[in-house]
Amino acid sequence: MPTYAYRCPSCGSDFDKVLPLSRYDEPQECPDCGHHPVVKSLTTAGFILKGDGWSGKNNKIAGQMRKKNERLASKEEERKRDAGIRLVPNVEGEQVSSWSDAAKLAKDKGVKDTSGYDRLASKENSK
């Protein structure tokens, strides 16, 4: 039910009353001095319309989607930047012509784990 705000012209008292819409136009009396009628000063609805068709929910969803799209756009930009990066076959900074050569050089230099080079060499050979 809506809450109606009243002001008494006699004593200056402000008070609120919760009334059904059917009693909206009925004159009210001041609870302090009993003056009749008092002046309605402000009306507030005091209820929220929830559900898919109301602007409050639509605005909330629009804000969530905007934030999500901004997050996705920044990730997409990062992915595009990273797509330009290309690995070059090398062992400890010494560049070689292929990953197979890098695996051989790594074994010659005594690198203990050459599985990364072997994996890249097998991908290179399968192309």
Judged by DSSP in three states, 64 sits in helix
pLDDT in the model for residue 44: 56
| DSSP assignment string, 27-57 | ----TTT--SSPEEEEEE------STTSHHH
Q: pTM (2 decimals)? A: 0.34
pLDDT per residue, tens digit, the chain (127 aa), is 778 888 898 898 888 888 888 887 888 889 889 888 888 876 555 666 666 666 677 788 888 999 999 999 999 888 887 777 777 888 888 888 888 898 899 889 888 888 888 888 888 887 6
- Residues whose CB falls within 8 Å of the CB of residue 34, separated by 6 or more in sequence, listed in order: none
pLDDT in the model for residue 46: 60
pLDDT in the model for residue 19: 85
pLDDT in the model for residue 2: 78
What residue ranges define each of the domains in the chain, with the CATH number in brackets? 3-44 (2.20.28), 90-126 (no CATH)
